[in-house]
Amino acid sequence: MKLYFETVHSLHDKIVNKEIKAAEVAQAVVSRLEETEGKVGAYLDVESEKALNAAKKTDEKIAKGEEIGFLEGIPGAIKDNICTKGVKTTCASKILENFVPPYNATVIDKLTAANYAFLGKANMDEFAMGGSTENSAYKTTHNPWDLERVPGGSSGGSAAAVAAGSAYWALGSDTGGSIRQPASFCGVVGLKPTYGRVSRYGLVAYASSLDQIGPITRDVTDAANILNIIAGHDEMDSTSSKKAVPDFTKSLTKDVKGLKIGCPKEYFADGMDAETEKSVRGAIDALKAMGAEVVDISLPHTKYAISAYYLIAPAEAATNLQRYDGVSYGARVDGEDIVSLMTNTRTAKFGNEVKRRIMIGNYALSAGYYDAYYLKALKVRTLIKQDFEDAFKSVDIIATPTAPTPAFKIGEMADPLQMYLQDIYTVPINLAGVPGISVPCGFTAKNLPIGLQLIGKPLDEETILRVAYAYEQAHDWKDKRAGGDA
């Protein structure tokens, strides 16, 4: 296998055993980035020198006989809504086109303490609002498996970089599926931890009660190792969990015997792509053959999840994005007075999808509509959360498709409502605050990846990692890499 397509854990072992130098590892991915970026468009900012220098320092430590951490010398990408001190963080928006944060997000401080190799900032849908990375103000990212198709979103740049071999790993954020759906589309692993498991401090807010940072990797082992690094309580985030963080790698066993896996009938409804359903059902059957018990369950309020999400998330977004007014920081378009200055700035610098969600959110929160829409959506959210709590009384995890279709063609989802329905299997997990992971489980006849979503109890990432690892190790999907024009 080509060096830039290897997993982080395999490269780490080779560096530690002096089979290869970290400088070679870094140079391989930098060269691959230079080769593919013109076609894939995964990055908004590339920091090759930083990655190469980090690798050089790793080799110096190895030469001195010093121990190195899991990510040392192995370059990765950071989604461009995660603050990086001294490096532009634009959220793929013109309104933040020259914003350089004066501080790091907590996850970046944790990665820095682990001596990570920073390769660049990954493209995304503007302010994480979208499911295709077509909403970026700067470029459209292309799926490495088929350059005419989207990589998913909003963490499309992160997933595309890992799939293309232009990053060994990446961080994304997930508000309604933005880690798991692009992981499914790009044939990689995407983990959304429990809400509060990873600090949100320094993550530019979209919907604060839903957002969560997580890893996008080539396999489950890498995801577990990176979660070990970034998870934990943070005093800077009042919503972060104080529960002790286990060593997630200890859950990586091939044994699923005795585990009860719930299969919700609402996630296999009409309209799902036939090849997707076949692959996901095949994966569930495979887990059953490995000794797990499959139980039919119901999550009855699933049909209301999209409606509730697209009231709650835009309402929170409308509030969070009030700060971009052309006054305090960010871009400014002058006007005759303060009102026209704000109006001109927001009109010129926000994209259409961001404007759409701000308007939906303000409408839902406005006098006369708050009770009818926003308050009702919050009540539905409670019912959805209750569905999961009830289901987990009888099962250990839940298995579903990650997305209803494989990656669609760029420009194909012109109707926003049609695009929103792509989130139908991922949104409920954010509303409930539970963890979820997407792992590859097959390919279509056109060689497009399909993802299996495994959903766990709150703060029980260990079980979904255990099942994901067992399934992954029993199949060769993990060994397939995007080829073709990329």
The catalytic site residues sit at 79, 154, 178
CB 245 within 8 A of CB 228: yes
* CA distance linking residue 306 with residue 206, whole number of Å: 17
Helix/strand number for the chain, H first, E second: 15, 11
CB 72 within 8 A of CB 22: yes
* CA distance linking residue 50 with residue 295, whole number of Å: 49
For residue 152, what is the enclosing H or E element? none
Location of structure tokens 């979820």: 436
Single out the residue of 74, 79, 78 nearest to residue 8, CA to CA: 74
CA distance to 42, 102, 105, 308, 367, per residue, from 392 (Å): 38, 43, 33, 22, 38
CB 150 within 8 A of CB 134: yes
For 336, residues 6+ apart whose C-beta sits below 8 A from its C-beta are: none
How many Å from the N-terminal Cα to the C-terminal Cα in the chain?
16
For 198, residues 6+ apart whose C-beta sits below 8 A from its C-beta are: 107, 212, 213, 214, 227, 230, 231, 232, 240
